[in-house]
Amino acid sequence: MSKVVIIGGGAAGMIAAYSAALTSNKVILLEKNEKLGKKIYITGKGRCNLTNASDMNTVMENVVSNKRFLFSAFRNFTNEDIMNLVENNGTKLKVERGNRVFPVSDHSSDVIKSVEKAIRDLGVDIRLNTKVDELIIENNRCVGVIVGKNKIMADAVIVATGGMSYQATGSDGDGYRFAKEAGLSVSKLYPSLVPFNVEGERVKALQGLSLRNIHAYIYNDKKLVYDEFGEMLFTHFGVSGPVIISASALIGNKDIKGYRLSIDLKPALDNEKLDERILRDFSEQKNKQLKNSLNKLFPTKLIDEVIYQSKIDPEKKVNLLTKEERHRLVNATKNLEFRLSSTRGFNEAIITKGGVEVSQINPKTMESKSVKGLFFAGEVLDLDALTGGYNLQIAWSSGYAAGEGAGNV
């Protein structure tokens, strides 16, 4: 029987505690907050998209960084395993669009309660409001942690502290410090699954406007680096929403100043069909000014921007528009352009890109290759994925592997 100490009571830490306790080990879970799963409370807009119900190969395909590292962990603890654990402990689940899995109640707290029940039933010693200051490492072996003036000795220590995202939940980078102090390398950290800032002031007029069924394209010079169909949102600083934050997972670790966002507002219509549609609308309101004749085609907030990018006089009557002007209007509708300047910061990021370099970690057990008895799980590792429940599955699977590995020390 081993004594296992886990730092961090989020998704990875809780499931690591569960896994380690399954084989009758003494498990102590240390959480700096007043409750477990604080970040889980706000995931999925408070509903908790706890995993994705696609087959595990599809889940793997949606991992962005170091997906091959997860092969063993994903096989050992799958999406079905976490769904069964949550349901067996009192929370019914449902599958929504994109195979996203949520609690039927739409309350993230129910998911946390179920996992907490599972670990309490196994006798895990949960200590809240307990901040770990440093690891105790002797002769290349982690033998415990220091909490204030106290030492907690252990056979194995699991670092499951999360990343740098949503810092109000306690993700302040402690885990990276622990790793560095133990001699491990940490790759550069970036905010990911995060909105973008847009150059200029015009975007502010679009604040609060939500667009559905658009196709977003992002270009670096003339090279297409991302495209996706779906929903987006304009904010006071730029752009957000599902298609935008997914883009940040793929390109957010680059200097994106000057990258172009092009939005096709009517992807179901080609240029010719869109021109026919515009002509039809105009024929019904011949004497109206252009600015008053596009209500059927666009949300009111968007009309000024489309006309501005069309370079047409908004006061001009539609029956006086030239064919060339109409084509400019079609082009602005199919390619509404904004220049990106940067991503938002860690406090608006859903996850952190970068972390403890996985080449230093045993993928089957999550143990450090250089410091025995020291394990890492979840977002503290250099692992990240797209939106849709995939990042939480990384936490569950890597946490389970770490708990199992630590329990067998």
> Does 50 share its domain with 92?
yes
Same domain as 247, residue 110: no
- Look up residue 121 and give its amino acid: D
Assess contact for 206 and 302: CB atoms under 8 A: yes
Q: Measure the CA angle with vertex 53, ends 63 and 89; round to 5°.
A: 115
Would the pLDDT of 285 be above 90? no
Is 181 found in the same domain as 308? no
Domain count within the chain: 2
Tell me what pLDDT residue 167 has: 64
pLDDT of residue 115: 98
Sheet of 150-153, strand order:
134-138, 141-147, 150-153
Task: Report in angstroms the alpha-carbon separations of 72 from 22, 60, 75, 84, 361.
Answer: 19, 11, 5, 20, 13
Check whether residue 200 and residue 180 sit in a common domain: no
Indicate the residue among 304, 324, 344 that finishes a domain.
Answer: 344
The CB density around residue 37, as the number of other CB atoms within 10 Å, is: 23
Q: What is the dihedral of CA 96, 100, 101, 106, to 10 degrees?
A: -60
Q: Are residues 339 and 374 in the same domain?
A: no
Strand partners, 234: 239
pLDDT at position 368: 98
Closest CA to 237 of 270, 285, 279, 194: 194
pLDDT, tens digit, 9 for 90 and up, residues 175-191: 999 999 999 999 999 99
Q: Are 354 and 382 in contact (CB under 8 A)?
A: yes
Q: Look at residue 370 in the predicted model and tell me its pLDDT.
A: 98
Concatenating the DSSP letter of every residue in 78-130 gives -HHHHHHHHHHTT--EEEEGGGEEEETT--HHHHHHHHHHHHHHTT-EEE-S-
Q: Is the pLDDT of residue 170 over 90?
A: no
Residues 120 and 211 in one domain: no
Given this model, what pLDDT does residue 1 score? 87
Q: Do residues 162 and 210 both lie within one domain? A: no
Give the global pTM. 0.91
Judge if 11 and 151 occupy the same domain. Answer: yes
Q: Where among 344, 373, 395 does a domain terminate?
A: 344
- Distance of alpha carbon 389 from alpha carbon 366, whole angstroms: 21
180 and 120 in one domain? yes
pLDDT in tens, 34-88: 999 998 988 888 899 999 999 999 999 999 999 999 999 999 999 999 999 999 9
Amino acid code (one letter) for 381: L
Range(s) of the domain holding residue 151: 3-190+353-408
Give the DSSP letter of residue 328: H
CATH of the domain at 280: 1.10.8.50
Residue 78, pLDDT score: 98
* Rounded average pLDDT over 354-366: 98
Please measure the distance between the N-terminal and C-terminal CA atoms of the chain and give it in whole angstroms.
9
- % helix / strand / coil in the chain, to the nearest 5? 35, 25, 35
Q: Maximum distance among all alpha carbons in the chain?
A: 85
Mean pLDDT of the residues in the chain: 95
DSSP H or E stretch at residue 375: strand 374-376
| Cα–Cα distance measured from residue 18 to residue 27, given in angstroms and rounded to the nearest whole number | 9
Q: Which residues of 365-401 are buried (b: 16+ CB within 10 A; e: fewer)?
A: bbbbeebbbbbbbbbbbbbbbbbbbbbbbbbbbbbbb
Mean pLDDT calculated for residue range 376-391? 96
Q: Of 344, 370, 393, at which residue does a domain stop?
A: 344
CB proximity list for 208: less than 8 A, separation 6 or greater: 233, 234, 235, 301
Token pair 């658009």 is found at 214
Handedness of CA 325, 326, 327, 331 (dihedral sign): positive
Give the 3-state secondary structure of residue 266.
coil
Which CATH number characterizes residue 37's domain? 3.50.50.60
The share of the chain scoring above pLDDT 70, in percent, equals: 99
pLDDT at 15 over 80: yes
- pLDDT tens column, 249-262: 999 788 898 899 99
